[in-house]
Structure 1
Amino acid sequence: MQERNYFAEQLRIKSGSFSWPAGDFIVEQQILPAYYMDNEDAEESLQCMRAMAAARSANIYLLIDMKNIKGASAGARKTLAQASPTLVKGVATLIANPISRLLSNFILGLNKPSYPTRAFSDKEQAKAWLKSLKDKNEAKKI
């Protein structure tokens, strides 16, 4: 098995990919169309986020495109909601259909993440919200 380069701008995982362009603070996670995320996928996502953050000595402001996701197990939702607020500083989810809205609401409400979360249908609004979180955190030196 080939070792992953966690400093890379694009990283493929089983459920899709992460993109973190050089000089940007937003990590974008793209979930494969019609993908059902299980706990193993959620663990892989968190492990990648930890390693990417460590490689860049940076916090994670995550934009998850879940517009075409098929679903996620209760274990996956719980695992993702328990990500450390010292790692994840904010999560914006992109939604487009009733299934992605339902899953987003589960992640945002039912599992009560310890970091700020919000659902959007517009990518630029999601990025602007993440930037406002980053600006607030920098002002507080978090």
Structure 2
Amino acid sequence: MDPVAADGAKETLETVDGILHLRWQPGAHIEVEDAHVAMAKVNDACGNERRGMLVDMAAVGSVSREARAVWSIPCSASRIALLGKSPVDRVLANFFLGVHIPPCPTKFFTSRSEAMKWLTAGV
């Protein structure tokens, strides 16, 4: 599947080897509308099949409280690996995981290969 991004979109979504890859643009300020759009793309891409999802959140500018709440709603993802690079990424992920109950197993990684191993282990 080719990356799905509309003009002005803050994210792209593609499927690689059966795993969804959601990439947020560096510096993106994610609001509730952005979270809803991304989750709709995920659900549409999956259809009736649940899939693992790698969320590349490296260098995201900010995530609103309302957007974080959207990610607590069950979606078509069976497992979610949050991929970041910086201590700020880790703080954002840990804050989300500490305040919200994810709809499926969710874990933060700084290594893409470790994230992919974890995602494919759950298949």
TM-score (normalised: structure 1): 0.80
User: What SS does the corresponding residue of 1:20 show, helix, strand or coil?
Assistant: strand
Deviation at 1:60, TM superposition (A): 2.4
CA RMSD of aligned residues (A): 1.3
1:48 maps to 2:37: no
After superposition, give the CA deviation of every residue in 1:109-136 in whole Å (9 maximum; x if it has no partner).
21111200000110000000001111xx
The equivalences for 1:107-122 within 5 A come to: 107-122=96-111
Question: C-alpha separation between the residues in 2 aligned to 1:32 and 1:88?
Answer: 20
1:83 aligns with one of 64, 74, 82: 74
1:127 maps to 2:120: no
TM-score (normalised: structure 2): 0.91
Deviation at 1:67, TM superposition (A): 1.1
Say how many residue pairs are matched: 121
1:105 maps to 2:100: no
Contact 1:53 1:59 in 2 (8 A): yes
2:27 aligns with one of 1, 19, 34: 34
Contact 2:11 2:38 in 1 (8 A): no
After superposition, give the CA deviation of every residue in 1:73-96 in whole Å (9 maximum; x if it has no partner).
001001012133xx2210001111
Structure 1 stretches (4+) deviating beyond 3 angstroms? none
What residue number does 1:15 align with?
A: 10
Question: C-alpha separation between the residues in 1 aligned to 2:78 and 2:103?
Answer: 9
Contact 2:19 2:53 in 1 (8 A): yes
Question: C-alpha separation between the residues in 2 aligned to 1:45 and 1:106?
Answer: 20
Question: C-alpha separation between the residues in 1 aligned to 2:49 and 2:35?
Answer: 20
After superposition, give the CA deviation of every residue in 1:15-40 in whole Å (9 maximum; x if it has no partner).
1201113xx12111111011110000
- Residue segments in structure 2 that go unaligned for 5+ positions in a row: none
Contact 1:19 1:29 in 2 (8 A): yes
What residue number does 2:61 align with?
A: 70
Name the structure with the higher helix share. Answer: 1
Structure (1 or 2) with the larger CA radius of gyration: 1
Q: Which has the higher contact order (CA 8 A, sep 6+)?
A: 2
